[in-house]
Each structure stands twice: as C-alpha cells, then as structure tokens.
Amino acid sequence: MTEAESSAISRMRCSEIMTKNVRTATRDMSLSEVAALMRDGDMGAVPVVDGVKLIGIVTDRDIVIRVIAEGKGIDTSVGEAMTTELFTVTRDDFAFEAIRLMGDKQIRRIPVVGSSGELAGIIAMADVALEMEDEREIAETLEEISSGSSFWSKN
C-alpha cells in the first residue's frame, strides 16, 4: 500500500463505511419477530428505535443469554432482552475511532447516530474488513475482537 493510500484510509469517515439501510425493531416487538428479521437479513443484531431515536440493540446473544437461558419464551418483548448500554459513533467520526471502540468494548457492531441520537447506520466488522482489508493494524484488531482474547484476559 502506498503512503497516499494509507493516508486516505486514515481519513475515512464512518459515513463512508456504514450500512445505511438498517432494519430496526421497537421495544414492543416480540423476539420471534426480531429473530425472523435476523434470519431474513442474515444479521446477528438489530438496532432498537423509538421513532428514529436509537434506544438499544438486540443481538442473537442477548436472545440466548437473557431469554432462552432464563426460561422465557419467544413472545418476550425486545425491550426485555435488548442491550441499553450503547457505544456509538457519529457519521463524521473517523472510521478508526469506530474500530478502536469496537476493540475496547469487545463489540462486533457499532451504531452510527446523528446529533439528536437518531440512527443513521451501523458499522459491522465485515464493513471495516471490506473497506480497509490492507491495513494490518485493523486486521489484528478485528482478530482480537473476534477471539475475545483481550476480554477474557482482563481481571
């Protein structure tokens, strides 16, 4: 990779790599409905919105840990299973900030929000890998996130 290409990648904004047309859920939807969205969209997470404002995210892991493992049924509402502690970036943040946040928080997807908290898009590790496949540091970060090694080694 040339220095110019490397420099261009380092200036890339989240808006350039995010998925813009994101399927969403509401807190009153059933997990059965969301699981169908996940299946049909081949995705492991669905942002939860109130109108256009992002209020949470529900992942396949949330469904397993917070619902199935607790003996609850598929009629459980998204609001009962979703994660409300959100780590987000804005459209204008550098893509590297999203990658660092993914690594620091050990998350595989990060919502992109507007100034009023409205959902603008989402960045998944796959988006990062497609746009920045030549960057060694990014590849190592993605590998670390996927393996969970830094998470499990924390005290």
Helical spans, DSSP H, in 82-123: 95-105
Report pLDDT for 155: 45
CATH (domain of 90): 3.10.580.10
Q: At what angle do helices 95-105 and 136-147 cross, to 10 degrees?
A: 30
Q: What is the pTM of this model?
A: 0.79
53 occurs within a structural domain: yes
40 occurs within a structural domain: yes
Q: Does the structure show a pLDDT above 50 at 153? A: no
- For the chain, the C-alpha Rg in angstroms (whole number) is 16
105 occurs within a structural domain: yes
- Residue 127: pLDDT band with limits 50, 70, 90: confident
127 occurs within a structural domain: yes
155 occurs within a structural domain: no
Report pLDDT for 18: 93
19 occurs within a structural domain: yes
Q: Specify the number of domains making up the chain.
A: 1
Whole-angstrom Cα distance, residue 88 to residue 91?
10
Q: Which has more confidence, 39 or 148? A: 39
pLDDT tens-place string over residues 61-111: 999 999 999 999 999 999 999 999 999 999 999 998 999 999 999 999 999
Residues 6+ apart with CB under 8 A from 119: 22, 24, 47, 49, 52, 53, 54, 111, 112, 113
154 occurs within a structural domain: no
Report pLDDT for 55: 98
Domain ranges, residue 26: 3-147
Whole-angstrom Cα distance, residue 34 to residue 27?
10
